[in-house]
Structures are given as structure tokens and as C-alpha cells.
């Protein structure tokens, strides 16, 4: 436990380093603030364009929503409307962009994302691009442009954006694991995500294979050594060092909720007729 606390403090220091915010001026990105306070954060995964589903999840208790644009047909117009429909909800919008290009990241930040999740990072350039296109000058090359970000986050957004928007890089392939120390050390990368499923898919290793576990351990060690936040699937919540988690999608939550409702429902219509509604 003592080891975990020391590592977490190192990650907290990394989050706060270079921030213009003092103790009396909290971050409006509550995910970043919670991590800086040493708290774990969990995000529900969204793959649908339905604003009602988005709002239900945004108000369900998640710290953030992982808006999935790599493995879904979602468009930026649809996502913009979803975020706007539930402005003010506690869950902060994070977007997994398809690629770390200027176009994808510019659109994601313009519509109000406070987290940019970069998939398939296996080169140093991809990690650096994720930061460069997320940050305004002088740190990066994000164009001020337009969008709904100001209406979502206030008139001080331009001055505060670089301190609030988080960059999450996903390590999914052996090539990325090989240089994870360099990727984690990139200035502006906040979180390194150990992509459990794809690491197994790309290597062919089962999750209980010692070779698989050694790869995850390498990601963990190098991420924490760099003072960054370590991330993974929600099933790893009790693992030492992990602080940031991707939670279930709306489909699995609806399925599990329906099953729970059916299990709690009366077994027959006769039971319903003799229940409280019949009194």
C-alpha cells in the first residue's frame, strides 16, 4: 500500500506540474482535479448518437464519458449535439479520436471535449502529435477557430484550456510497449492506457500468460516512473497503481439493467394481480 501511495503522489505531481491554477482556483476538468486529489476516475463508454442515452449516462455517476469515435460510426456533428444536450452534466466528455491528426483533434476540442484519447500509439511522433494538436500556442499548434467550447466552459476557456484538456495515449501493440518509456515521458501526455484486449490480440498471449503480464508490468513501471497516470479497463480497478478506467458501454449497461429488472419482477401475471397494484 505504501508503494502505491508513493507512485500516486508522483502522478499527482505530474498532473499539477506547469499548471497555472492555484489551490484557490480548481480545474473545471473535474477528472483532472480528482486525479490530482489522488482519486480514481471511471468513464462509461458511449457508441450511440442518442442524446437521451448520453444524458442518462452523463448523470449516472461516471466521472467522464469515453465517447467512442474510433470503433463507431459517430460523426462530430452528432457528438457535438450529444455534448450540448447534456451540458452541465457531471461526467466530463472525453473523445477517442480515430487518429491523432490535426483535423480529428481540432474537431474534438472545438465541440467541447476535455479529454483526447489517442489510440494505437506505437511511435513517439503519434504521442507528440496528440499533444501538439490538443494544445493552444505556445505549447502546441491548435487553431483557436470556433465551436461550442466557449459556451460550454466559459469565457476564460482559451487561457485555461491547456491546463484542463487531458491527453490519454493508448498502448496497444508490441511496438508501443517497446518504447513506452519514451511515450510516457512526452511533455503533455497525462495518462497512459494499457489496452488489455488489443495487447492480447496483437501478441496472441492470453491474459494469464506470464509474457502478457510482463508486458502490462512494463507499461505500469514506465508510466509511473514518468510521473503519469496509469489507466486500464474497469476490471483492473483493484490493481496496484491504476487510477483511470474505461467502464462499460451503454449496450452492456442496458442489458445488465434489463436482466436485473427481470430478476426482480414477479414471476407470473398472477403475482402482479395480487401485488400492491391490486390492492
Alpha-carbon gap, residue 179 to 181, rounded angstroms: 5
Candidates 3, 71, 207, 255; catalytic one? 71
Cell output for 113: 471535449
Q: How far is CA 248 from the centre of its chain?
A: 12
Q: Which of 41, 90, 98, 107 is closest to 68 using CA atoms?
A: 98
- Angle at which helix 51-58 crosses helix 76-85, to 10 degrees, equals 50
Cell output for 135: 494544445
Cell output for 48: 450511440
Alpha-carbon gap, residue 222 to 228, rounded angstroms: 9
Cell output for 16: 499539477
71 annotated active-site: yes
φ, ψ for residue 142, nearest 5 deg? -75, 130
Give SS3 for 211. helix
Cell output for 251: 449496450
Burial 54-75 (b: 16+ CB within 10 A, else e): bbbbbeeebbbbbbbbbebebe
Cell output for 153: 466552459
Alpha-carbon gap, residue 228 to 63, rounded angstroms: 19
Catalytic residues: 71
Amino acid at each position: 500500500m505504501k508503494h502505491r501511495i508513493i507512485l500516486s503522489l508522483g502522478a499527482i505531481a505530474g498532473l499539477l506540474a506547469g499548471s497555472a491554477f492555484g489551490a484557490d482556483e480548481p480545474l473545471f476538468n473535474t477528472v483532472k482535479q480528482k486525479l490530482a486529489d489522488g482519486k480514481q476516475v471511471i468513464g462509461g463508454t458511449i457508441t450511440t448518437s442518442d442524446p437521451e442515452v448520453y444524458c442518462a449516462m452523463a448523470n449516472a455517476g461516471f466521472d467522464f464519458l469515453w465517447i467512442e469515435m474510433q470503433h463507431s460510426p459517430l460523426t462530430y456533428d452528432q457528438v457535438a449535439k450529444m455534448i450540448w444536450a447534456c451540458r452541465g452534466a457531471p461526467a466530463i466528455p472525453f473523445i477517442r479520436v480515430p487518429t491523432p491528426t490535426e483535423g480529428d483533434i481540432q474537431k474534438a476540442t472545438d465541440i467541447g471535449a476535455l479529454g483526447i484519447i489517442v489510440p494505437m500509439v506505437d511511435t513517439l511522433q503519434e504521442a507528440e502529435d496528440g499533444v501538439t494538436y490538443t494544445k493552444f500556442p505556445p505549447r502546441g499548434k491548435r487553431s483557436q477557430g470556433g465551436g461550442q467550447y466557449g459556451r460550454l466552459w466559459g469565457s476564460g476557456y482559451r487561457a485555461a484550456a491547456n491546463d484542463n484538456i487531458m491527453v490519454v495515449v493508448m498502448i496497444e501493440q508490441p511496438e508501443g510497449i517497446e518504447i513506452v518509456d519514451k511515450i510516457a515521458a512526452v511533455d503533455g501526455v497525462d495518462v497512459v492506457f494499457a489496452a488489455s484486449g488489443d495487447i492480447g490480440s496483437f501478441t496472441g498471449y492470453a491474459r494469464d500468460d506470464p509474457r502478457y503480464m510482463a508486458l502490462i508490468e512494463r507499461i505500469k513501471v514506465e508510466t509511473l516512473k514518468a510521473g503519469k497516470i496509469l489507466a486500464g479497463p474497469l476490471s483492473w480497478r483493484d490493481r496496484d497503481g491504476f487510477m483511470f478506467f474505461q467502464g462499460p458501454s451503454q449496450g452492456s449497461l442496458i442489458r445488465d439493467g434489463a436482466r436485473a429488472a427481470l430478476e426482480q419482477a414477479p414471476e407470473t401475471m398472477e403475482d402482479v394481480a395480487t401485488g400492491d397494484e391490486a390492492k
